[in-house]
Structure formats: C-alpha cells, structure tokens
Amino acid sequence: LDSLPALSDAALRDLPLFGGMSASSQRRLVIARMGSLATLNGSEVRRREREDAERFYLRSLSESYPEPLPEGSVPHAPPGGAPSPEQLEQLMRRLQLPEGEAWSAFGEEHPRWRALLCLHGVQRAAGGGAAASGTLSAELIELTLRSTAAAAGHLPPLTRRLPSSLPVKSLKAMAGALFKVEPARQVVLYSRPGAHKNDIPESLDDELKRLCDYGVIGGGEIIIEEEDGS
C-alpha cells in the first residue's frame, strides 16, 4: 500500500495480517509501513505518533536482520528536521548495506526499511547488550498517568518516563504507590496520543505483557481505574 502515494486516508480493521496484535500495535505497524498516511480509522496521524511508530518499527525489524548492520553503513540525515524528498534520495544512494539473497528478500518484505533507516538512523531493540546501550533513551517513553479511583480524586495527572519494556505488572505496582489503589483492584487503560474524546481506551489486561507489546508510545495516557468491590 505504500506504493500508492495518494493514499492518505485509510480504514483498516480485523485483518488476518494483524493476528493477535493489540489495536495500538496494529495502528503503529500500519503507520510505519505507509508513509503517506495522514488519517487512520478516522484519527489524524500526528508527526510525533509517526516518528514513534517508525522508530519502533525499525527496532522490531532489527531483531530479524540476517546479520548485524556494519558500523557506518547508514549515513546521517542533515540537521534541521526531516530531509526533503531529494535529500532522502541522496541518503538512500549512500547506504552501504550488506548484499546477498537474505538481505534482498528482507528489503522486498519491508519496502520502507531503507528510507526509514535514512530518516531515523539505526535503531536497536532493547536488551541488545552493549550494542544497544546507546539507544536507551529511545526506549524511554513519556506518559501521563492519572487515576479515576476515589482515593486518588484529589491527585493531579503525573508525567513519567518509563521503559517501553516495562511489564504491566510493574506498572500496576508503581501506580499502586502513586494512587493508593491495590494492584489487584486496578483496571489499566491506555489512550494513545491524539485520541478523540469519544475513542475507547485500550485495556492493558495481561500483566505479563510489556508496554511495547501493547503498542504504547510516548505522549499517550495511562488511566488507572478501580474495580468495583461489590
């Protein structure tokens, strides 16, 4: 679909391609793979959401590279914001990527990969040891946390920078300390950046999953509700 540059508005739901992905992860994948998309399922794709989606997509792809990318294989984009189409073409011509059937197949499977490398540089997945230490800040996401529980009604929303690999179980423990709501009684919801007021937040109901597994990105909001004890 990225080969259709005039395609700027799309509504995609319940596709077999998505498998068991969360709604937020589905949205992030579609945005990263479709560079011209401005509206998805009725919601505007804002610049920050696109950048987060594309960087996360690159980190996900890095786990399936046929081999590590050599140092210096990706040129640096010029400072001052996103490069022009002409500058992007020049950067892509300067890519020095490995050759071979495996890399050719990888590029065909992920058509925007080369362009995204030039836009955002090499992105490595969390947990990559020393090689990934330089991307720690890219793995931290800034989120707003608030609670609708009665005990937390007087508390203002809080902003925290959290690792995208944080398990929901750990998030509940932190929210329990912040909002005085027992983790076992918490209902954790996520509202993505730019969500309409009528959009239904996504439930983060699996304590063993990480924030990144649900597609949580910077600028979003975590809402802590309290289950009715009756």
Residue 210: its pLDDT value, please?
87
Q: Please give the pLDDT value at position 136.
A: 38
State residue 172's pLDDT score. 94
pLDDT of residue 158: 94
Q: What is the pLDDT of residue 93?
A: 92
Confidence at residue 126, expressed as pLDDT on a 0 to 100 scale: 53
Name the average pLDDT for the chain. 83
Short-list 229, 223, 188, CA closest to 205:
188
| Whether residue 130 has pLDDT greater than 90 | no
Q: In which band, very low, low, confident or very high, does the pLDDT at 1 lie, cut at 50, 70 and 90?
A: low
Q: What is the pLDDT of residue 224?
A: 95
| Residues comprising the chain, all counted | 230
> DSSP letter string over 171-190?
HHHHHHHHH---GGGEEEEE
Question: Using one digit for the tens of pLDDT, what is the confidence trace for 145-170?
Answer: 999 998 887 889 999 999 888 899 99
- Kindly tell me if the per-residue pLDDT of 133 is higher than 60: no
Neighbours of 22 (CB within 10 A): 19
pLDDT digit string (tens) for 210-219? 888 888 888 8
Decide if pLDDT at 128 tops 50. no
C-alpha torsion 126→132→134→137, nearest 10: 0
Chain center to CA of 55: 7
Query: Looking at residues 64-84, what average pLDDT do you find?
Result: 83
